Structure 1
Amino acid sequence: MQYGVGLSTDLAGLNADIEQQHEELLELISSQSDEDSGSIHRSFLNGSSNSFVMLPPSPKIFHGREAELKTLLTTLLAPSEPAHVAILGPGGMGKTALALATVHHPDVMAKYLERHFISCESATSYAELLVSIGLHLGPEPSWQSPKAILNYFGACGPCLLVLDNFETPWEASESRSEVEEFIGQLSGIPTLALLLTMRGVERPGKVKWTRPFMSPLDPLSSTASRQIFLDIADEPDDGEDAALDDLLDLSDRLPLAIALMANIASFEGYLATLSRWQVENTALLSDGHDKRSNLEKSITLSLNSPRLASSPNAINLLALISLLPDGIRVEDLVASTVPIPDVRQAQWRLVGTSLAYVDVSGRLKALSPIREYIRRTHAPAPQFTTPLRTYFQNLLALWKAKRHIHSGNLGPELASYVGNITELLRYGLSAEQESSWVEIGDSILVLHDFSRTMLKGDTQLINKLPELINDTGDSGLRWRYATRCLRPGPLLPTDPDALIEEGVQYYGTHMTRSNIDEVIAFYDCVARHYSNGLHKDLSRATEFNALTLDLAREHGETVHQLKALATKCYIAQTSDAPRRLIPVAREGRKLGGLASNPEAWEFYWTEAWALSCIGDFRGAQDLCMEAHEWLVSAGLETTDRRLFLLDVEADIHLQKGEYSEARTVYAEMLKRTSPQRSPIYHGYLLTSAARVDMVMGSVSVNDVSAKLETAQTVFTAYRMHQIPITVCAMAELALYRDDLDTARSLLVKCLTANRRLFPLVASDCLAILGDSRKNLHGGNSSTGDVFPWSIVFLALARKMQDPIRTLHALRRIADYPTIVGEDTALVLFRVVCDVGAEMGIHHLQAECMLGIGDILTQRGDVDEARKMWEGARSRFVRCSRSRDVLQVDARLS
């Protein structure tokens, strides 16, 4: 008999192989469980043939394939005609493990008295396939004829035949027809069920496959991936949870990669494994000798597929998508004019071999371990990466130009490609000519702005710009980068004043018509810089804002005028002057409306904030609705702009005492942010949510403390220490845990530090210090120790022209009837309660009604007092202030 290529025809060698297999069989039998040994013993006693069954053991760790296993069991155990099923998917996806779990299932064992599991991994042709099956059935060469094999399975009764890695013999084009003919003959045996595992998504022809087809295996779920990892490795130590998450992300939920990583982590630890991966990549998982213990060998088997070899362009396409973690649609490849002829055919080849797949959005993707290996062994040539990089750079430039007008779906589409753009720009800096570096640097700046806008956080590529600026010596790039550095965050220099002075001198001598946009952008960033944070200097902010406005008006740039007006609003907002903000916002709305410019949306939300501060909640809510319509029309509803608008909506709820509603809004905002995505805003939201939790009184001290600690960690990472709102929140936390001395000390400290720069925070401190119901000054303090704080609170509220804070200050003054007199206190309570009711401020009404009831009780009017307390209780319930409800209940009992 002629054997296929690679099979020795040396009889002595063949006998030696048979003897070795005989020894291995004896060893295998001795190591089998009783169940498997029984199966082998039954085969030896089978009088119809001299066949024997060798079954690998069932997988001991098996998670995440329960649905697929159920499907296979239903198919194999059906009483109808025998099942013919192909388990498809990429290498390392767990096809073999699923097949073995199926073979060893008790119900399958009961139905199929004979079960054969045959590896076809080394069979590269039809002849070698016959040898593999024949050697499994018996050592004599006569077993290796197709007739003998078909006769055996036709006579053996109910039987399940598993052909593992069947793609190996099937892929050889010169013998594919014979292989399909043979497997078709096997499928015609009425008592034989066929189960094939194959890399790729294609099934052999000439077989009546059981319908519906079983879908190719997908990566495991996050839960199953974690279960497999922790079944192999120990639970992570303190501080290693993040490393475990990173390792699972790097595995891309590929079972083989998970198992290999977990094995290494089990003796090297999580952090050490992660460090090694960052250096070695897939080589870390390639110490084994076969595809089940060597990730690179598993990938190489797919790369060496004859199906892939028949399409030379497929390797180039695979190399290109190794740079694209987000995947890519063929339409984008064609539009970018990447020089890969017949790209759809190349895609089909990659998908057919499961080196890549097409996701639900139609993008061609490769799993992370495959991408890492290909990048290391088949790095893409610049002739393929440059056109695609340029394509995405042009889209970024289009977004920059169109962000102020209706841009359709451009923003969300680009956001879904941020990973690709990042990797292409990074690769361009390492693999392309120096002449493209400045252009790439400018694209990094646009990507940085875009990524922040779309709530994807800062791009790490921004950290490459100082070195890039030094290498290119380009002063224009330097100052475009410096403008970004003036924004709050880790890029802010230690001496921003020196940078600003140098920038003013530079643009003073280098301002031209061609760079006027850069000049205006620089001055605008300087104005913003001086209007917030620890560098707050409102006079300088106003000076640079006026300069920006003059330049914008002089050069007729509507967009820059709108930006300058928005900054003017921001200055008024940070100086806590809502009334001064309103006319500026209306000017911006008018200018933006005349220019049909969605950038005008910012004036809607800033004016809404100002209106909410003065108690015009209906007007504020109407503007929020209009602002939302602007966002939707501009395709910006998933950006940071939506966060700003939600923040105003939360503030409206807070002003009205609708704490549960405000907490719901904060929860929605927190879902859109993280310490990596919009980190500063995330820290602010955690702080705000914690403060609301304390007012509602339904959350444990530990939960509140955890939120504030996380927020402080975020701020510290951005070199933002002692944030006023955080200090105030820490004082409220001390009060929440009844640590009065610490609370009072922190409040006084916060008030002293912020009474000029941050009057809004200062007023919050005064509101607590002057509230006799907080008992902040202890039971032994006199009324005279507390009352002055209320007067100072009132004075600051009047200075800020803040009507709502003025009402709250008057309520606190009314709490001191022994000083102002009972009649005066009652008048104050009733006036504030009426105004609060007119505005719809629920908690203010409740607090006043509580105070009125207390005074009426002292006067002996118990019935009226109870009515007031009952009214206060219903309003405290409306506000979700559980602690206050309990206090009213104590009065009513």
Structure 2
Amino acid sequence: MPPSEKVSSGILQETATAVGALQDVSRALQVPFLPAICGICFAILGIFQSAKAHKQEHLQLLKQVQELLWVVIDLSLGAESSDFLPQSILYNLGNFARTLQKIHSLMDADASSGRFRRLWLGTNTQQVEECREEMRQSLKAFTIYSTIQATQQLGEIERDSQRRREELLSIISDLSKLDSASQLSTTDAEIWKTRNLPSVDSIASLLPGTPKVFNGRDNELKQILSILLQDSPRRVAILGTGGIGKTALATSVLNLPEVIDMYQHRYFVPCDAASTCRDLIGIVASHIHAEPSKPGVLHTLMASSTTLLILDNFETPWEPSSEREEVEEFLSLLTDIPELALVITMRGVERPGRVRWTRPFLPPLRPLSDEAARQTFLEISDESEDNTDLDDLLPLTDNVPLALSLIANIVSLEGSARVIVRWRNERTKILSEGYDRRSNLDISISMSLSSPRMTMFPGAKMLLQAISLLPDGISEADLMQCRLPIANLDQCKLALLRTSLAYSDRDKRIKALAPVREYIRAVHPPEAELVRPLTTYLYEVLMLWKSFRQIPTLESVPRIAANLGNLQSVLLWSIEQDEEGAAWQIRRILTLDSFLRATGRGLSPLRAYLPGLFENCQDHQARAEYIAAAFESQHLYESRALADDLESQGIQEFKLANDRVGEVQFYNVLAAYYLYNNGDPATSEKYCELALALSTENHDLTGKGKALMHFSEVYEYRGNARLGRNYARQARQAFIQNGYLLAQAHAMKAEIYSVFILGDFQYGLALCAETKSVLAVCGMHTSELHSSITSAEAQIHLLKTDYHTARLLQMDILAKTSKGSEPMEHGYALLGLATIDCATDVEEAAVRKNVNKARAVFTELKSPGSIFHCDRVDAELQLRRGDVVEPATCFKKWLSVFRAEPNFALECLCKLADPDYGMHQPETTFAYAVVMFGYAKKAEIMPSVYLALRYIGDMFLRSGDQVTARHLFQTSLEGCAAMGIHRHQAKCLTRIAKICRKEGDVPRFVELLRQARTLFEKSSQARQVDDVEQLLASVVL
């Protein structure tokens, strides 16, 4: 019997409250996995809210989720700080997030129709029970560490839950009032232990307080206040870049006395978890205590008296193109409510459409004035106004409020003079004199070591010995958790700081200068008992990332990155001391290497030790993993010869280790190696078949999905995009069954690339939006994968010759990436801009500047295929100038090199076959056009098929065969129109128009030219628009 609507609504509302509470904790404490857990939970709630009926087993799952969320909140707040949660708890948080992904995939598939729903037939009950058991295990693990005593029975926990939740909501209320630069202190985190405040109905009812420090926005406050106090309409968009103070301005407005007097109801709704309009409606509903539906929200607001609604971070639901129309429609409906005043904050400078924003518009926020920046800095840092160091410190911030806050907080801890000195020391450390004077330095260090402040705590020297192995220093949290065998650790740390044998950097990491580290390692080397806990702990941090790569947690990457030097140092020490055996050393180096490769940091220098370790290793598992890593790194970074028998040896090692999952993974690695490193799709396909067969036998859905992905890549490489698309869809189905959202996004990316080759641009853009929605649920909306989806979206618009939209997307990628972060996407954004600007007649110097920047990136990444595209743009610039000899030679040479790769080959043929360039005699150009048509037709690369038809039509037209030419132009026009390719449609229309004019059909000539003009305008072809205007002006009707 299905549950009643009242029961369902109650569970939904209670779960939404718990998720909202956890989101506030996540923002305050930055605990790994919490953002991912919140994002997935919001997505699950969205599925529930849109469902027409709820199954009993699904509601039971949701109730279990809710109970776990409160326990997670409790243990997060019970820690000394976010950094002090044990690794075991972080592992369990990762497991909980993984279970939530499975629940999301289960419910999403169950709620959908078609092939994905059929996957769950017969397995739904089993999946539900697996999820329930996993959550029971998570609850058991969490309660051991939670401030709820492990000895309490679950029944007691349930009876005490309401009081407990009220206490937690009170704490979170305090947390929400902290400004963005503050951190939760130990005292704040312990408030819940001593306070017993009245209960709060819902986290949604809490309003943020006025920022503690707020200067320089008087004009903006005055303008917004004048709008909010006037008669309707009252609609304000606060715009600007990240960190500029949009939210601070909104919360200041919210708490103005005049606003409080004017509005009986005030709501502040964070929208950063809303990736769809459905999510947005659900979140607004939870804050205003309305039914979670559009009518419910509107009815509640219309029934209220004067109301101020602030939607913070509104860009999150508004940005996806697939959601924008629905989101703007919802926003428009809100503005129709007479008693409602609306304020939104958004990154960027564009306001949502379909809303009449109150004029004059509030300009996008700019950095603070020098005076306001100085005042803000002084209030946070508590420095004297007469401090001359401020003149050196303030220019580092550019008067951006977030940067000001961060720098000022560091100064408040260490003093301005020390911050400046440290900055200068770090800039000039290598050139500093005195470090070469070994005797004087040794005496100085030795005297410090023997000082009373050191000898008072014998463990201080041991701590310095440990730090001597850590070039990155160590954070307080890591120091507390690595279980060093040192008594009075806090006092020992203080002794090192007082004697300047160590110092605290701006990230509060305890460091020793390089000469001190070198002296200690030479004269007082650390014992193994001191190094082993460091090695074990740092490797555990690394393994947390590896174990949950499918559960993105952006917090763990910076934590590992901050310890990369430390990891390499302690691992090298282990190798030199021959600690723990070759197998462990191999595994640790390979794990570090996988992190470096996954985050675009290249390869570890410790790889140089692997061959020797491999020779001395008798562990089959470690030997197998080493061989797999050797092949995996080949097609990514290295290009050295591998032993002929290494492939068969690797397969044998996996079989001897009885690691069937690893064997599947190795086959997948070999499939990628032969495709990308050797250009051998046949051998790659062989290993895809082996991986698919073994993974199917093992019920290894992850391995099966990867094998199907490689099949997709093989067939796309061969020019069979249609079959490639089918394999990508099968891969996505496998990952859906496995419940891994990130893997689903990768499969969707593979399908996107197949789809736009086939010319189905509309579906491709919809799939891009859907993939971004999945990434938002994963908390990966700022990831490299998200950038690559935006890049694919830009490529589709480029193929449609919608150059304006393509350029905006490439600029967005460029702003979010760099050579050091996501270098490949950064390079392709530069290349994309150059390609677009070349096609839209931008000045050559500007085009070449971006080409050269892209070439530098690709050269550093050793990506010859990408460098080809840079050479292609250079050649196109020459063609634009009318130079044809050198480009013709280049395109012929490239065609011979890339003949077996359809996409590259067609890039060359589309230039060689274009009669407008005049690179060849007519018969040669015609031959290239025919070859291009046949090649594109066989590979089903439809944009090139219709482009080739236009080229062939040009040749017939030039030979005087207008009838054949017209048929070809018409066919090309219809094909391009179906795909929405503006520029090529316009060129076909102008050719048909000219034929009509010759035939005396002047009205038709004018009609077609007007259509062409519109399409040239859509494709930013200003010169062609002028040409059409001149043709139209010449007509006498």
Q: TM-score, normalised by structure 1?
A: 0.61
**Which residue, 924, 936, 957 being the options, matches 1:785?**
924
- Is 2:624–2:654's contact at 8 Å kept on the other side of the alignment? no
Amino acid at match of 2:744: A
- Give 1:762 deviation, angstroms: 0.8
Deviations 1:365-384 (A, max 9, x none): 45667666666666544333
Identify if the C-alpha distance between structure 1 residues 379 and 860 changes in structure 2 by more than 3 Å, giving closer, same or farther.
farther
**Which residue, 328, 341, 344 being the options, matches 2:474?**
328
**Which residue, 483, 486, 491 being the options, matches 2:628?**
483
- Is 1:794–1:809's contact at 8 Å kept on the other side of the alignment? yes
C-alpha separation in 2, matches of 1:222 and 1:485? 49
Amino acid at match of 1:798: K
Amino acid at match of 1:608: I
Number of the residue aligned with 2:599: 454
Amino acid at match of 1:800: A
Q: How does 1:429-448 map to 2 (within 5 A)?
A: 429-430=575-576, 432-448=577-593
C-alpha separation in 2, matches of 1:296 and 1:872? 80
- Is 1:453–1:640's contact at 8 Å kept on the other side of the alignment? no
C-alpha separation in 2, matches of 1:370 and 1:660? 57
C-alpha separation in 2, matches of 1:856 and 1:221? 71
C-alpha separation in 1, matches of 2:514 and 2:988? 62
Number of the residue aligned with 1:465: 610
RMSD: 4.3
- Is 1:682–1:711's contact at 8 Å kept on the other side of the alignment? no
The answer to whether structure 1 residue 618 and structure 2 residue 762 are counterparts is: yes
C-alpha separation in 1, matches of 2:467 and 2:802? 50
Number of the residue aligned with 2:984: 844
Deviations 1:630-683 (A, max 9, x none): 334445555543344233223222222233443454455566766676666666
Number of the residue aligned with 2:704: 561
- Give 1:803 deviation, angstroms: 2.1
Number of the residue aligned with 1:588: 731
Amino acid at match of 2:600: L
Q: How does 1:57-136 map to 2 (within 5 A)?
A: none
C-alpha separation in 2, matches of 1:529 and 1:886? 51
Identify if the C-alpha distance between structure 1 residues 790 and 365 changes in structure 2 by more than 3 Å, giving closer, same or farther.
same
Larger of the two Rg values belongs to structure? 1
Deviations 1:390-420 (A, max 9, x none): 1122233333332234668444543443343
- Give 1:560 deviation, angstroms: 1.1
Identify if the C-alpha distance between structure 1 residues 864 and 753 changes in structure 2 by more than 3 Å, giving closer, same or farther.
same
5+ residue gaps, structure 2, are: 1-380, 397-419
C-alpha separation in 2, matches of 1:214 and 1:344? 35
C-alpha separation in 1, matches of 2:421 and 2:803? 41
Amino acid at match of 1:283: Y
Number of the residue aligned with 1:255: 424
5+ residue gaps, structure 1, are: 1-208, 225-250, 265-281, 290-294
Number of the residue aligned with 1:794: 933
Number of the residue aligned with 1:283: 435
- Is 2:1009–2:1028's contact at 8 Å kept on the other side of the alignment? yes
C-alpha separation in 2, matches of 1:316 and 1:324? 13
- Give 1:722 deviation, angstroms: 9.7
Q: How does 1:182-197 map to 2 (within 5 A)?
A: none
- Is 1:836–1:844's contact at 8 Å kept on the other side of the alignment? yes
The answer to whether structure 1 residue 523 and structure 2 residue 667 are counterparts is: yes
**Which residue, 832, 835, 852 being the options, matches 1:691?**
835
C-alpha separation in 2, matches of 1:872 and 1:211? 66
C-alpha separation in 2, matches of 1:719 and 1:842? 32
C-alpha separation in 2, matches of 1:789 and 1:813? 9
- Is 2:692–2:707's contact at 8 Å kept on the other side of the alignment? yes
C-alpha separation in 2, matches of 1:626 and 1:434? 49
The answer to whether structure 1 residue 775 and structure 2 residue 918 are counterparts is: yes
- Is 2:617–2:623's contact at 8 Å kept on the other side of the alignment? no
- Is 2:465–2:526's contact at 8 Å kept on the other side of the alignment? yes
SS of corresponding position for 1:691: helix
Number of the residue aligned with 1:762: 905
Q: How does 1:204-283 map to 2 (within 5 A)?
A: 212=384, 254-255=423-424, 283=435
- Give 1:389 deviation, angstroms: 1.5
Deviations 1:518-540 (A, max 9, x none): 3222221111122225x212111
Number of the residue aligned with 1:655: 799
C-alpha separation in 2, matches of 1:427 and 1:829? 71
**Which residue, 472, 484, 498 being the options, matches 1:338?**
484
Number of equivalent positions: 628
Identify if the C-alpha distance between structure 1 residues 334 and 613 changes in structure 2 by more than 3 Å, giving closer, same or farther.
same
Identify if the C-alpha distance between structure 1 residues 522 and 377 changes in structure 2 by more than 3 Å, giving closer, same or farther.
same
Identify if the C-alpha distance between structure 1 residues 709 and 618 changes in structure 2 by more than 3 Å, giving closer, same or farther.
closer
C-alpha separation in 2, matches of 1:687 and 1:303? 56
Question: Which range moved further: 252-261 or 600-609?
Answer: 252-261
- Is 1:631–1:637's contact at 8 Å kept on the other side of the alignment? yes
Number of the residue aligned with 2:101: none
Kindly indicate whether structure 1 or structure 2 has the higher relative contact order, using CA contacts under 8 Å at least 6 residues apart.
2
SS of corresponding position for 2:435: helix
Q: How does 1:845-884 map to 2 (within 5 A)?
A: 845-855=985-995, 872-881=1012-1021
Q: How does 1:351-430 map to 2 (within 5 A)?
A: 351=497, 356=502, 358=504, 363-365=509-511, 379-405=525-551, 409-411=555-557, 413-430=559-576
**Which residue, 735, 750, 765 being the options, matches 1:606?**
750
C-alpha separation in 1, matches of 2:754 and 2:709? 13
Identify if the C-alpha distance between structure 1 residues 892 and 283 changes in structure 2 by more than 3 Å, giving closer, same or farther.
farther
Q: How does 1:798-837 map to 2 (within 5 A)?
A: 798-816=937-955, 817-819=957-959, 821-837=961-977
- Give 1:774 deviation, angstroms: 2.4
- Give 1:796 deviation, angstroms: 1.3
- Is 1:330–1:343's contact at 8 Å kept on the other side of the alignment? no
Amino acid at match of 1:840: G
Q: TM-score, normalised by structure 2?
A: 0.53
- Give 1:765 deviation, angstroms: 1.0
Question: Which range moved further: 509-518 or 674-683?
Answer: 674-683
- Matched-pair identity in %: 27
Identify if the C-alpha distance between structure 1 residues 347 and 763 changes in structure 2 by more than 3 Å, giving closer, same or farther.
same
Identify if the C-alpha distance between structure 1 residues 846 and 795 changes in structure 2 by more than 3 Å, giving closer, same or farther.
same
Identify if the C-alpha distance between structure 1 residues 384 and 581 changes in structure 2 by more than 3 Å, giving closer, same or farther.
same
**Which residue, 869, 876, 892 being the options, matches 1:732?**
876
Question: Which range moved further: 516-525 or 852-861?
Answer: 852-861
Number of the residue aligned with 1:232: none
Identify if the C-alpha distance between structure 1 residues 300 and 703 changes in structure 2 by more than 3 Å, giving closer, same or farther.
farther
- Is 2:459–2:486's contact at 8 Å kept on the other side of the alignment? yes
- Give 1:438 deviation, angstroms: 2.8
- Is 1:356–1:367's contact at 8 Å kept on the other side of the alignment? yes
- Is 1:338–1:384's contact at 8 Å kept on the other side of the alignment? yes
C-alpha separation in 1, matches of 2:391 and 2:505? 12
C-alpha separation in 2, matches of 1:217 and 1:433? 50
- Is 1:222–1:253's contact at 8 Å kept on the other side of the alignment? no
- Is 2:844–2:877's contact at 8 Å kept on the other side of the alignment? no
Identify if the C-alpha distance between structure 1 residues 314 and 653 changes in structure 2 by more than 3 Å, giving closer, same or farther.
farther
Deviations 1:275-331 (A, max 9, x none): xxxxxxx734x4998xxxxx8899888777765554443443344344445443322
